[in-house]
């Protein structure tokens, strides 16, 4: 385990995704942010992000997709 992984937390977000294009937008903004690992659950409109970044930063990044997004809580 790398030292920085000790501080990484997994967070669950709701993102109003309706199609593959929406999940592609989420992938693009999170890859651009960097320093995150994520999993997209399109049918349930959820994104699970593992990162040491603040949840506000993650939420604002998800909102850059133009979709409604909310922080659900730690996973």
- CATH no. for residue 48? 3.30.70.100
Rounded to 5°, angle at Cα 39 from 64 and 46: 65
Q: What domain range is 61 assigned to?
A: 9-74
Residue 1 has pLDDT above 50, yes or no: no
- Flag whether 59 is in a domain: yes
Residue 19 has pLDDT above 50, yes or no: yes
pLDDT given for residue 75 in this prediction: 86
- Flag whether 17 is in a domain: yes
- Flag whether 2 is in a domain: no
In angstroms, the CA 62 to CA 48 distance is 11
Mean pLDDT of the region 32-56 = 96
Residue 4 has pLDDT above 80, yes or no: no
- Flag whether 1 is in a domain: no
For the chain, what is the domain count? Answer: 1
- Flag whether 41 is in a domain: yes
State the pLDDT confidence band at 38, using cuts at 50, 70 and 90: very high
What is the chain's percent helix, strand, coil content, to nearest 5? 35, 35, 30
């Amino acid at each position: 385990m790398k030292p920085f992984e000790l501080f990484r937390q997994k967070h669950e977000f709701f993102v109003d995704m309706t199609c593959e294009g929406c999940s592609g937008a989420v992938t693009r903004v999170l890859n651009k942010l960097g320093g995150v690992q994520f999993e997209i659950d399109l049918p349930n409109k959820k994104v699970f992000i593992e990162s040491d970044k603040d949840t506000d930063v993650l939420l604002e990044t998800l909102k850059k997709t133009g979709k409604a997004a909310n922080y659900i809580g730690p996973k």
